[in-house]
Amino acid sequence: MASKAAASAMAVALFLASPNAFAQRQATTSRVVTSPVPTAEFVIGAEDLLTVLFWRDKEVSGDVTVRSDGMITLPLVGDVQAAGRTATQLTEDIRNLAARFLTEPVVNVFVRQVNSRKVYITGEVKMPGMYPLTSPRTVIQLIAMAGGVLEFAKAGDITVLRKDGNVSQAFKFNYNNVARGQSLEQNLELRPGDTVVVP
């Protein structure tokens, strides 16, 4: 048990020292969960994988990944700003651009895989790893997605780590209390990049 506690303490220290290094470590050592279908209000970001379908124009249809500059490149249409747009908004943008080359184009855009919004959970849960944040999600919901806390977890001493600009924050989360309907203010709504550490 001492080694597990030391591992959790090391995870906290690594995050506080360098959140980017922590994220890279988690991505390579933890289970990565396939993203569910995002909500209609989901805002597309860099690294998200999109499917763009043109009805009766298969040669210009296909999958495309949003680049780091927020753009995607499509046959005929060229570069299109995708980051910061919903799938519905991007569909309309592409339709308007394609109308210069195609007669009454019928276009559909789907978010196939979410890679831009991620949260992490590590430590004494059944399925630690990286999870897509496609819609509002609280700490206890993420723990549930990760299969729940393990038998010997210190469920009353969970920490939520957050990097806000140059400021690193740590919030305590008592799973036992929240599960009983107490201290519900601890059940934070997670933000992209948050890490939940279960010792």
pLDDT at 4: 47
Burial 77-113 (b: 16+ CB within 10 A, else e): beebebbebbbeebbebbbebbeeebeebebebebbb
Q: Under a CB-based contact definition with an 8 Å cutoff, are residues 68 and 74 in contact? A: no
Closest CA to 52 of 111, 93, 117, 105: 111
Q: Tens-digit pLDDT profile for the chain (199 aa)?
A: 444 445 555 555 554 455 445 445 544 444 444 455 576 788 999 999 999 999 988 888 999 999 999 999 999 899 999 999 999 999 999 999 999 988 899 999 999 998 999 999 999 999 999 998 888 999 999 999 999 999 999 999 999 999 988 899 999 999 999 999 999 999 999 999 999 999 9
Write down the domain spans for the chain. 2-36+116-198, 49-113
Predicted confidence at residue 137, as pLDDT, reads 95
Q: Cα(113)–Cα(48) distance, rounded to whole angstroms?
A: 6
Residue 50: per-residue pLDDT:
96
Residue 85: predicted pLDDT: 96
Tokens coding 108: 């559909």
Choose which CATH entry (3.30.390.10, 3.30.1950.10, 3.50.50.60, 3.40.50.300) describes domain 49-113: 3.30.1950.10
2-36+116-198: CATH class: alpha beta
Q: Whole-model pTM?
A: 0.65
Look at residue 165 in the predicted model and tell me its pLDDT. 82
